[in-house]
Each structure stands twice: as C-alpha cells, then as structure tokens.
Structure 1
C-alpha cells in the first residue's frame, strides 16, 4: 500500500534547560514493559490559525520547554555492570518529525467504520520495543499537516511512562503551546517507592522482542457509548445487587413514583438518581466495569469458544491511589499492574450481565495496597517481561482509561476532534478505552479483533444496541 504521507523534515529537540535530575533506576513496574512497543497516542485538530512555519516553530519551542519539566524523556536507557536498567537524564533529546498528508482530510479519518490505516503513519518508532531506548530517543513527536487540519502524534517509551504519565506530558506540552507560563502540574520523579527494587531482569542477547507476532490479520474499530447507554448497562449489571439492597417497599415506592419510568428502554434521571444513592456502597459495579463485562460477553460469543474454554479479561490498573501511603498522583513512570479475571466461556454466556460484571468488580476492589505489594514481591522472586498478547485465542486485554484527560489539551485553537493511536501493541483482543469527546461519562472503545470476530461482534445485538 503506498504511503499517504511525506516526511518534510526531522530534527532533535533538546530541553530548554539542562537537566538537574539524577539517574532514575527502572522500577518493578517499568522493567516488564521493555518488551512492549512505544506508546503511540495523538490528537486530530482543526487547522491552526498560523502559517505552517509558525506552527512548526511553536511546537518545537514548546516541546523544548516541556522537556525541561520532563527531563527523563530527553534521556536514554543504560544497563550497568550488575544488570540494572536506568534512565540517564543526559539531555540527549527527542525526535521531532514534520510531515504532510495533504490528500487526507478529517472526514476521511473519522467517517469509515474501521480505523483507517493511515493513522499508523502519523507516529514515529513504529513497532519499536522499549528496550531500544538504549540507543534511540525515549520519545518522538510527529506533526502531520492534513488537507483541513493537523494530527499531532506522540510516541513514548513504555518502560519510561504509563498512560497516566504519558498524558501528563502530552497535556503539559499542549499547555505550553497555548502560552501558559507556569505549568499546572509538575511531575514527581521520586524513586523511593514500593516499586523500587534491586531485582535484575535478564535479557537475551540483543534484547527482548515483542511477545506477540503482530503478523495476524486484524480489524480495528472505535465503538462509541453515550452516558445514557452506559447507564443502561450499569443498571443491568447492578440490578441483582440493587434488588438485594433495597427492600420491596423501597422498590414499590420507586415504581409508583411518577419519576420512575422507562420509555422504550430509555432510563430516566430517576434511575441515575437511584444508582447515585447507591454509589457509596462498595457493592456497586461501576459504569466502566459494566461496559467491560458487556464487551467480554459479546467478544466471547463472537469467538464461538467451546463452553469449557477458559476466557480471560485482563485489565491494567493505576496503583498510585491504591498504595498506603498513596504515591503522588503525578508520579512519573509506570505504576500499573494487571488484573486478570477468568471464567469458563459457557458460564460467562449462560449467566446474565451482572454475573460477569460482579467478578470483574470484585477483582478490582480486591486490588488494594496489600495486593499491590504482593505483586511486587512475586515479581522480585521471578523477574519477567509482561506477556502482551492473546496466546490462547480467548483473552481480552483492556488498556488505557476513560479517566485519562485525553481531550483536556488545547494547543491554542480548540480541543481535539478525536484521539487515536498508532500500530503499537495491537493484537487480537487488545482494547483501549478513551473518554468520549462529549465528556459527561461517555466512552470510546478502540477494539482490535480478528476479522471474523469483529464481524461477529457487529452482529451481536446485545452489544450493538448500546453503540452510538
């Protein structure tokens, strides 16, 4: 397939001020990501109110300033004689690429059902594993001029940042572009945390490879869910629990109230109020857990798995607020762990939505300070890379988060029209959750599946009834 873009120029951007940061040893949460590919996320924007030259210069200057606040990103990875991998903050700089795709317009990027392949060309370090940060920059920004807009794509080494830190950097970059003199949130580079460790992860000669092939045919589509649709799923997921928590008289009282109505399945504000009154109870299944459970059911059905086949829903969780004492919310690096939830395909599909949602919910609730610390000790006992992929044909991996402030970046001429990702870390069953552009609890799911599974999901009425 011919390329839709033309690279105009490429250069290195250095921090505006020299780093005063010491060498940062990679943590127990960073090291497993060395076999993962660089995170690739970016924003689609309308045409900036500047000339192309002014726009590119603004991005370069702002990026240099942003790197002064995030000097770790301008460094390189080093491995010492004992096998410890660290970031040396040596101001080596990051890549900046200017590109043109003048025959690509915004409508052609947003209107197709499947995500267009050209998005993959809007990012640097395509299919590069994070271990390569020993000799390649730890980050790159690519600005691609479109027929009627621009795409700003950012690639960051996954052993250096998780999604929380990625969006902190990206939003700071946008903030500086907009003209802010003092950034709103400074990163915390402390390393005296539960994740800091002297454990050594050994690698094969030449470093690790990606743990998934990346060669299988895939379809990729973004499914959008409104707040109202997610409330319906949340009601279904919590229905059994609500029935046990409310007395019969409470239920009858709600039903007799004029505000307790459903019209053509639409859930009114009364239901939202009912769920809100229940929101402080740990038994409540969240909106996102409800959506995940529905996706798990429908993908499992589309895969036509044998009833006895074990299916796994793996979810990455932020540990910053789970630890006691909590890590700083702006701790820079990876502070994530993976929560696997398993079920027999037959049982998942024969039960109602609340059953699958409940086991997901219980696993997330149980992932507390003690669980995080046990995970660290377990990894230190047996250091290993994160096994990204779908090895048994029955797994789903949920990444990213609708809580990430992906649309809270304004480069100076308005919010993004869309958030999209590149080719990195995609395989059958990889899902990424984004907030919906309209906010207010809406969610977009970037779903990557084998073509026959995607076709089955698109015919799954239980799932598609909620898609906007």
Structure 2
C-alpha cells in the first residue's frame, strides 16, 4: 500500500497585530501551570469540508491562509502570552529553578501550511482513528518545558483533496482546555469579522475581557522557585505504547436514558449526564480489562476550578484544572449498577470545593509536584479529559460548520478518554477512547457499552462562499 504524500509547503511566524504595553511584561507561572511542564502540548483540531464550488480553485486556499494568518495576528493581540517563550532563571546556592513567560523576546506563534493527498473519508471512514492524524499537528511528542525553544502556539493548516484540517498545538503549561477553546472561539469570531469587513476598518474584541493576571494563593509571591539545579531532575518524556483510538458517538437520547437510569437506581436527581456517561465508561473499560476483583480501579475527571474559586471567572487565561478521582475495587464496581458508580463520581465532584483546592495548593507549595504521565496514571484507571461543554462546533472559518473534531498524539495512554460535544448538539457527546488493542476489542464486545452508542451521521451542509 502506497503511503499518501504529506508535504509541508510553507512556514512562518505570526506576532500580535497590536502589541500592548502590558504584553511587554513577564508572566509568572502558577502551581497549576508549573505542574504541567512534563505533559505534552494540547493538540486539538477541526476538520472542514471545502466549499464544493471551490474545491479545484487554487485561490481558495491562498485566500484562506491569508485570512487565517491575519486574524491570528489580531487574536494574539488579546492572547499575547501565546506569542512568547518560556524562560528560566536559575540559582545554584541554594538551588532554585523558576520558569516564566517572556511575552516580548520571541518570534511569535508558528503558522504552517501542509498538504496531504487523501480525502475526508480516509479520516472518518475507518473504525479506528488513523495514525496519519498525528501528522496534522506540530510539536509531535514535545513536552511543555520545550516551550523554552519551541513556540508556545503552533497552527498547522493541512489541505486535503476535499477538506481542510486546522490543527492547533498549545503549550499546556500556559493554558488549559477552557483557555484553549476560548482562544479558538475568539479566533473564529475575528476571522469572520475580518472577512465580512472586506478590507475596511473594523474592531472585534473578546466577548468578555480576558483575565491575564495569574492567580496565586495567599502568602505565595511569584515567581515560584523549584528546588532544582537542572530540568533533567524533573522533566521526563512519556512514550505511549501502541494504542487503538476510536471515537464513539452517544446521541442525546442515549445520554438521557443513561442519566435517568443512574438517578433512578440511586433515588435522586443530582447525577449529571456526564457523570452517568463516565460511570458507564468506567465500568465497561474495567470489565474489558478483566482485572482481579480485589484490584483497585479509579476514574479521574478533569475538573474546572474556575467555578469553585470566587476570584476566578471563566475568562481567566491559564491553567485552573484539577483531576478528581473516584476509587473502588473491580469487584465493587462491577457487582453494583450504573447508578452506584455514577453516585461515587457525583460525590467526588460535589466535594471538590474551594477549601479542597486551597489545601492542594498549600501542600503543592510545600512539596512541588510535576505531573509525569508514566507515573501519574496507573494501568487500571480511566481518565476523562476535556469537556462536552466546550464550544467546539461554533468555530467557522468561511467553510461552515466543522465535519469533525480530532486530536493528535499528545497526552494519550491506555484508559485516556477525551470528550467532545456531538456535532448535532442537543446534549449528544463524542468520546475518543484510547486502549490497548486487546482491551479495545473486549470493549467492542461489551453489550452494555455498544448498546449505548450510535452512528454519528455527518449530513451535507451548505457552506459560505
């Protein structure tokens, strides 16, 4: 079989269009940011269908690239830390290692244009997500600490025969999922306003003022000094084993049934849709793994701290997430029903409040911890990342609504589950599940799990020309 020809056509750097006085400052990193230095960049992207009347016209892609670059420059005026680089200040006696963002001395964000001679069907038709998706993103296998020498933001536009994939690699020590999609949504709005203005003057601002002042707990004066002499003392690089990646679709009706079942079994109305779905995934993946009944297992949920911290609005730019964990034995998890597992997850989320967050930060400052993927997640955990609440399909770049959302190589391991809203909306959810080949085969044979899934139908849509 002949491998499709992937070609990187061009590369440039994009700086903020209107540098502001504040953007010439140094941004210190918080404990939440620093803890992510070993993790990979966030790699998420959107697949669009080319407007049918323009598929074979070269000026379409030229104009698209021009508009993307210009609107990116305008967007970086608001999200200026993404155009910077990481820098480190070290001392030897006593040893200390402080990392922060230099927002001024940088080439800016990287912008790449590439081509690949395949169609949208080559991406969406296979049962498993094809590995070629990894080439749609820059910073392959890079960890966030590499932001000292690599751009903190890299956009790659890959032109297919009948589609365009816009992939974004963003340093996870700079931003979390909320900040990531806030950037993407803002970029889309500015792109549309730029195109509609047709060269005339216009102004587009973020829907809400971004909060760039990094939040630090009481009695913590930045910068935070890590007790190290060299990054080799705390930076490790995680290589994922061979995994199967598959996207499972859950319709709004299926989600509603899971939620009703979970709440009914527990005689409550407090269990959420996502907690019910997470409980199903936790039970079914654990069953697929066939561990001993006394084996401990956990389900970790990425939780946004903004809604739990009074001074932190949704517009706070940076990391503000925490992994909460529900734990039990395999025997208890499988002998009890969906509602039992969902209630454990509900209590875990409900008990995560400001007091818990502040206690975690206090302990972290006493003994700084850098998350290492190879050690942080055990072989029997299920980790639910991202969120179906993110505005993924509200992003349009002159090609209408995206056909699908996909991710790259980054931060994947056996048991990692990434959630997206379903394309049709209405409460539907897509889950990107990563498992070893044997475990994925067992999951595909699990009647409880497969009966809850459905086929995601991508309808023909009208595109803006």
Residue 448 (structure 1) aligned to one of 434, 440, 451: 434
Aligned equivalents of 1:209, 1:385: Cα separation in 2: 8
- How far the C-alpha of 1:319 sits from its partner, in A, is 0.3
- 2:204 corresponds to which of 182, 194, 200: 182
Structure 2 counterpart of 1:251: none
**Cα–Cα, structure 1 residues 197 and 38, in superposed 2: closer, same or farther, change >3 Å?**
farther
Correspondence 1:352 to 2:366: no
Return the alpha-carbon distance in structure 1 between the equivalents of residues 229 and 382 of structure 2: 28
Gaps of 5+ in 1: 246-277, 279-283
Q: Deviations 1:374-398 (Å, cap 9, x if unpaired)?
A: 1111111110112324754211111
Residues 97 and 229, structure 2, Cα contact 8 Å, conserved in 1: no
Deviations 1:222-241 (A, max 9, x none): 00100110111111111133
CA distance in 2, matches of 1:292, 1:357: 7
Residues 4 and 118 in structure 2, CA contact (< 8 A), matched pair in contact too: no
Match in the other structure for 2:458: none
- The number of residue pairs the alignment matches comes to 426
Aligned partners of 1:204 and 1:221: how far apart in 2? 42
1:410 has 2:396 as partner:
yes
What are the superposed Cα offsets for residues 324-357 of structure 1, whole Å, 9 maximum, x if unpaired? Answer: x241211000001111111100110001111111
User: 1:14 matched to which residue of 2?
Assistant: 15
Q: Distance in 1 between matches of 2:190 and 2:377?
A: 43
Partners of 2:213 and 2:447 lie apart in 1 by: 49
Correspondence 1:262-341 to 2 at 5 A: 278=269, 284-323=270-309, 325-341=310-326
Q: Does 2:67 correspond to 1:58?
A: yes
Contact 1:310–1:345 (CA under 8 A) maintained in structure 2: yes
User: Which residue, 266, 285, 290 being the options, matches 1:241?
Assistant: 266
Supply the RMSD in Å over aligned alpha carbons. 1.8
Q: Is 1:137 the counterpart of 2:163 in the alignment?
A: no
After superposition, the Cα gap between the structure-2 partners of 1:202 and 1:408, relative to the gap in structure 1 and judged at 3 Å, is farther
Q: Is the 8 A contact 2:98 2:225 kept in 1?
A: yes
Residue 68 (structure 1) aligned with residue 91 (structure 2)? no
Over 3 Å counting, the alpha-carbon distance change for 1:105 and 1:186 in structure 2 is farther
The residue number in structure 2 matching 1:252 is none
Name the SS for the 1:153 alignment partner. Answer: strand
Are the aligned partners of 1:222 and 1:445 in contact in 2 as well (CA < 8 Å)?
yes
Q: 1:60–1:391: structure 2 CA closer, same or farther, 3 Å change rule?
A: closer
1:98 to 95, 103, 113: 113
C-alpha distance 391-375 of structure 1, shift in aligned 2 (>3 A): closer
For 1:380, the equivalent position in structure 2 comes to: 365
**Alpha-carbon distance in 1 for matches of 2:66, 2:311:** 39
Which stretch shows the higher mean deviation, 436-445 or 107-116? 107-116
Which whole-Å CA distance do the structure 2 matches of 1:51 and 1:391 have between them? 45
| 1:223-261 Cα distance to aligned partner (Å, 9 max, x none) | 01001101111111111333xx6xxxxxxxxxxxxxxxx
Would you say 1:224 and 2:249 are equivalent positions? Answer: yes
Partners of 1:211 and 1:9 lie apart in 2 by: 29
Measured after TM superposition, the shift of residue 193 of structure 1 is 4.0
1:43 has 2:46 as partner: yes
